[in-house]
């Protein structure tokens, strides 16, 4: 059980980007806070509502981050990639001038 958990975490770490890891963390925190708010809300309604507000804030941060990254990706990063792909590569062959006699 421990080895399978460890191998799945290492494969997740290798296969995802830092941005995706951050987004996964926001979702996990929001879900954990939502569950904690439900359980604690059974005992103390006021505290449960405060924890629920934190869960909503984590979900809002997730959505804002997702929109910001999508806008950045579409408007800036794709254009930078297009410009770098369009740039001609330098050749190593020297050009020689031929003169007619």
The pLDDT confidence band at residue 2, using thresholds 50, 70 and 90, is: confident
pLDDT tens track for 29-79: 999 999 999 999 999 999 999 999 999 999 999 999 999 988 888 887 677
Residue found under tokens 């103390």:
44
What pLDDT was estimated at residue 81?
67
DSSP state of 17: -
pTM above 0.85, yes or no: no
Q: Is the pLDDT of residue 22 over 70?
A: yes
How far apart are alpha carbons 88 and 46 in whole angstroms?
64
What pLDDT was estimated at residue 4?
87
- Tokens representing 101 are 């006699």
Query: Which long-range contacts link 15-22 to residues 24+ away (Cβ below 8 Å)?
Result: 19/69, 22/65
Q: Where are the domains of the chain?
A: 10-84
How far apart are alpha carbons 14 and 81 in whole angstroms?
23
Alpha carbon 75 to chain centroid, angstroms: 16
């Amino acid at each position: 059980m421990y080895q399978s958990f460890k191998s799945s975490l290492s494969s997740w770490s290798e296969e995802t980007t830092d941005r995706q890891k951050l987004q996964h963390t926001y979702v996990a925190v929001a879900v954990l806070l939502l569950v904690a708010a439900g359980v604690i809300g059974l005992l103390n309604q006021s505290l449960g509502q405060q924890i629920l507000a934190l869960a909503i804030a984590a979900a809002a941060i997730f959505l804002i981050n997702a929109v910001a990254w999508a806008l950045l990706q579409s408007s800036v990063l794709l254009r930078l990639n297009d410009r770098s792909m369009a740039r001609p590569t330098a050749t190593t062959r020297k050009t020689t001038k031929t003169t007619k006699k």
